Chains A and B, each alone.
Chain A
Amino acid sequence: INPQKSSDLPVSSSSTSLPMFRNKTFSVRRRFSDFLGLYEKMSVKSSLHGCVIPPPPEKSVMGMTKVKVGKDDPSSAEFLERRRAALERYLQRVVCHPLLLQDPDVREFLEKEELPRAVNTQALSGAGFLKMINKASDAVNKMTIKMNESDTWFEDKLQEVESEEQQLRKLHAVVDSLVNHRKELCGNTAVFAKSMAMLGNSEDNTALSRALSQLAEVEDKMEQLHQEQAASDFFIFAELLADYIRLLGAVRGCFDQRMRAWQRWQEAQSTLQKKREAEAKLLWANKPDKLQQAKEEITEWEAKVTQYERDFDRIGVTVRKEVLRFEEEKAKDFKGQIVKYLESMLQSQQRLIKFWEAFLPEAKAIA
C-alpha cells in the first residue's frame, strides 16, 4: 500500500496503488474538511465500535488564514508541509487498519471523483479532537451506574493508556524546546559566519584572508545543517509524539464506547424489569387488552437485552484485539521513526565531514 499525496491550498489529492481497487494508481482531490468528514462517518458506525479510529489532524485557524492570504513566507510553507505530512500519516494509518480498509466510506474517499461537502465537522474543527473525546469521556463517567469488572484487564489497560498519554505530553514539550534551541543556534551561526567574512576582508595577509572567508562559508553551511536538523527533530519526533497523544485519546474513546455499551445493556435490563413489574400489576388489575401490549413490550425488551449483551461482549473482544494491534503498530512506528532520525543524523555528519575536509587544506595553506 503506497498512499502518497500532494497538497495544494485548500485542496489536496491522493493516489494509491492497491490490488482490491479498480485501478492500480489513481488520484483524487480532497479538501481538508473531507478528511474530517471521513472521520465523522467512521466514528458513528456501530460496525466499527471498539476500533481505534485514527483521528485526523487538528485544524489550525491561524495557519490556514495565512496561507489563504497568500503570504509567501517560510512559516506558511512550513505550515503547508506540516499539514500535508499529517494528512498523509492519517490516511496511512486508516488504510493500515484491516477493518477500515474494507469500509465503503473509506473506499469512496479514496476513489470517488467528487465528494459531497462534509457536514457535522463542527465539533472536530472547532474544539479539536481531544477536547471532543474528553467531553464524551466526562459524560460517560457521570453516569451513575458503575461497572463491576470481573476481568481487571480493561481497568488496568485504561490506566496504562492514561499514564502513557501524560508521559508523551511531557516528552513533546521537551522536543519542542529542543527545536527552538536549534533554531536559535541557526540564527547565531549565520550571524557569526557574516562577521567572520568581514574579518577575512580586513585581514591583510592574503592566505589567511582567504582561509577566513572559507571558514565563513563553512559556518554558513553548518547553519544550513542545523536548519535541516531542526526540521528533522520536528517532523520526525515532535509530530510523532503529537500523533500518539491524539491516538491514545482515540484508544480512550474505545474504552468509553465499551462503557456506553454496558450502560445501554444495564438500562435495557432495568427497563425490562419495569415492564415485568407493570405486567404483574396489569394481571392483578385484569385488563386483558393492555396485558397483550405489555407482553409484547416484554418480548421486545428481552430481545433488546440479549442484543445489547451480545453487543457489549463483542465490543469487549474488539477493544482487546484493537489495543494489542495498536500497541504493535505503535512500537513499529516509534522504531521506524527513530531509525529515520538516526539516518538523518548520519547524513548530517557525512556532509559535515565534507565541509571540513574541503577547509583543511585552505587552513594549512596559510603562510
Chain B
Amino acid sequence: MMGYLSVSLQPRAVNVDLQTDATLQVDISDALSERDKVKFTVHTKSTLPNFKQSEFSVVRQHEEFIWLHDSFVENEDYAGYIIPPAPPRPDFDASREKLQKLGEGEGSMTKEEFTKMKQELEAEYLAIFKKTVAMHEVFLCRVAAHPVLRKDLNFHVFLEYNQDLSVRGKNKKEKLEDFFKNVVKSADGVLVAGVKDVDDFFEHEKTFLLEYHNRVKDASAKSDRMIRSHKSTHTTALLRILLHHYAYYCTTTAPLRILLFFLKVSELFEKTRKIEARVAADEDLKLADLLKYYLRESQAAKDLLYRRGRALVDYENANKALDKARAKNRDVLQAETSQQLCCHKFEKISESAKQELIDFKTRRVAAFRKNLVELAELELKHAKGNLQLLQSCLSVLKGDT
C-alpha cells in the first residue's frame, strides 16, 4: 500500500543542543522510503578547504551511517571521546502490517470509516518516517559539531563521495563475531569497572553513569508503554458510539432537535479526538524520544569510561611488567617502551574524557530543559484547546433545551 514516500523536512531534531557553525553544516534535505530501504539525501555546506565544492549532496542508506559510526568506534585515536550513538534502524514493519490489515478488512467497514482509518495509519507512517530521518540527521550533526570527529577522513568521504560506499550489511559470520565480541566486552567491562579509580571525578562518573543509564532504560521502556496505551484510549470509540446512535435515530421518526444534539456532540468528539491524538504524539516526541536518545548517549558515555578503564588496567599491568623486567634485568627497554605507550594512551584518554563527560552533562541538562518546557507548553496548549471546545459545545447544548 505504501509504495514509496518522499518527505521534505523541517529544521533539526530537538534532542541535542548544538551550535551551528558556518564552517561545516550538515543536514538531511530529503528522504525517500522504498519497499525495504530508506534513502537519505545528505546535504553539506562547508567553507573548509578539504572539500572540492562549498555545497553538495549525496544519497546514503542506513548501513552507511552504521559503517561510519563503527569506524569511529574502532579508531584508537578516538578512544577518549564519546562517540555519537548510531541512529536506530528504520523500522516500518509494524506500521506496514497495520496498513496491510486495513487493506484486507476493507470490505467489512463503511467507506467513511475506511478512509478515516487509512488517513490515521498514513499519518502514523509519516510520523515514524520523520523520526527516523531526524535521528539520522542528529547523528551527523553531532559529528559535525565535534572539534575532532568533524575532521575525520571517513566522515568526509561519507559526505562527499557521490557513489555507493558499498558497505554491505554484515553477513551471518560477521554478526556472530560481533555477538561474541560484545559478550567478551561486557564481561571485561565488569572486570574493568571493578577497578577502583584514583581520580574522584571519574570514580563518581562511573557510579553515576551506571545508575543513570539503568534508570533511563527503565523510564524509556515505561514511557513507551504508557504512550502506546494513550494512543488507543482516545475518544474515537465514544465518537463512534455517538455516530451510531445518531445514525440510528436518523432512521426513526426522532424529532429534529434530537438529531441536531447528536450531530453537535459527535462533531465535538471528532475535534477532541484530533487534539488527543496530538497530545499522544507530542508526549512521544518530547518525552519518549528524549529518553530513548539519552539511553543511547549514556551508553556511549559508559563505553568511553570503559575504554579509559581498560587503558588504566593496561597501564597498571605495564607498570607491573616493567618492575618485573627491572628486577630480572631482562627486556627492560621493551617494557619501558610499552609502559610509556600505555601511560601516554591513558593520559590522552583521561584528558579528553573529562571534557567530554562535562560536555555530556551540559548537553543533557539543556536537552531536558528544552524538551520538558516544550512538553509542558504543548500539554497546556492542547488542554486549553479541549477546554474551549467543551465549553462552547456545552453552552450551545444547554442553551438549546
Query: Which residue numbers of A lie inside 8 Å of B, CB to CB?
Result: 160, 163-164, 167, 170-171, 174-175, 177-178, 181-182, 184-185, 188-189, 191-192, 195-196, 198-199, 201-205, 208, 211-212, 215, 233, 237, 331, 334-335, 338-339, 342-343, 345-346, 349-350, 352-353, 356-357, 359-360, 363-364, 366-367
State which of B215, B219, B244, B369 has its C-beta within 8 Å of the C-beta of A208.
Answer: B369
Question: Residue B238 at the A interface, CB < 8 A?
Answer: yes
**When chains A and B are docked, how far (Å) is the Cα of A182 from the Cα of B233?**
6
**When chains A and B are docked, how far (Å) is the Cα of A195 from the Cα of B215?**
7
**B229 x A363 contact (CB < 8 A):** no
Contacts A174-B237, A331-B258, A339-B397; A205 near B377 (Cβ below 8 A)? no
Question: Residue B232 at the A interface, CB < 8 A?
Answer: yes
Q: List 25 A-B contacts (CB under 8 A).
A: A164-B248, A170-B244, A174-B240, A178-B238, A185-B226, A185-B233, A192-B222, A195-B218, A195-B223, A199-B218, A202-B208, A205-B365, A237-B238, A237-B241, A331-B254, A334-B245, A335-B258, A339-B394, A353-B380, A359-B376, A360-B377, A360-B380, A363-B373, A366-B365, A367-B365
**When chains A and B are docked, how far (Å) is the Cα of A291 from the Cα of B265?**
73
CB distance from A359 to the nearest CB of B (A): 5
Among B228-277, those with CB < 8 Å from A are 228-230, 232-233, 237-238, 240-242, 244-245, 248, 252, 254-255, 258, 261, 265, 268, 272
Among B380-401, those with CB < 8 Å from A are 380, 383-384, 386-387, 390-391, 393-394, 397-398, 401
**When chains A and B are docked, how far (Å) is the Cα of A181 from the Cα of B218?**
22
A357 nearest CB neighbor, chain B only:
B380
Query: B225: which A residues are within 8 A, CB to CB?
Result: 188, 191-192
**When chains A and B are docked, how far (Å) is the Cα of A346 from the Cα of B386?**
8
**When chains A and B are docked, how far (Å) is the Cα of A340 from the Cα of B156?**
64
**B373 x A364 contact (CB < 8 A):** yes
**A195 x B219 contact (CB < 8 A):** yes
**B261 x A167 contact (CB < 8 A):** no
Question: Residue B212 at the A interface, CB < 8 A?
Answer: yes
**A167 x B208 contact (CB < 8 A):** no
CB distance from A190 to the nearest CB of B (A): 9
Contacts A208-B365, A208-B368, A353-B380; A199 near B219 (Cβ below 8 A)? yes
B220 nearest CB neighbor, chain A only:
A195
Instruction: Describe A's contact surface by its main secondary structure.
Output: helix
A365 nearest CB neighbor, chain B only:
B369
CB distance from A323 to the nearest CB of B (A): 12
Query: A352: which B residues are within 8 A, CB to CB?
Result: 379, 383
Contacts A195-B218, A202-B208, A215-B372; A171 near B245 (Cβ below 8 A)? yes
A182 nearest CB neighbor, chain B only:
B233
**When chains A and B are docked, how far (Å) is the Cα of A285 from the Cα of B228?**
91
Contacts A171-B244, A184-B229, A211-B372; A191 near B222 (Cβ below 8 A)? yes
